[in-house]
Amino acid sequence: MIAGIDHLVLTVRSVEATCEFYERVLGMRRLDERNRPTALLFGSQKINLHEIDRTFEPKAKTPTPGSGDFCLVAAVPLAEIQASLEANGVAVEVGPVSRTGARGAMMSVYFRDPDDNLVEVSEYRLD
C-alpha cells in the first residue's frame, strides 16, 4: 500500500543554521516557496523545516527541536560522507558500523545536526 517516503518534517531552532549545515555538509539544496515551509531537497525526497516559533499546520502534537532520528542513504561512497564531516568539523558519534536497513546490509555513520537531531548516513553493501 505504501511505496516510499516523500518528505519528513524537522522542527528546528533556526531555519538558516539548519539549511547552512545540510547544504554545506551533505550537499542538500534549499527550496524556499511563498507560504510554504523551507525545504531541503536531496534525491527524490525532501525535509520540510518548521522553525519552532513559526510552524505550519497541521503539525506534530509536540514539535520539539532535536527530537529527530533518521537515516539517509548516501549517493556517494560513505568515505566521501566521512571526509565531508571531518572537513566541516562535524563529530562522528558512532561508525562506521554495520547495520541492517530496509533493503539489507549497510554501513552507517551517526552524527548530530545543529539541533542535536541524530542523523545516520548509510551506504548499502553490494556483497
- For 50-126, where are the alpha helices, taking DSSP H only? 78-87
CA–CA distances in Å: residue 74 to residues 13, 22, 38, 93: 26, 13, 22, 17
120 noted as active-site residue: yes
Question: What is the number of alpha carbons within 13 Å of residue 16 lying toward its C-beta?
Answer: 0
**CA–CA separation, 122 vs 76, rounded Å?**
10
Catalytic residue chosen out of the listed positions 20, 51, 120, 123: 120
Residues belonging to the active site: 120
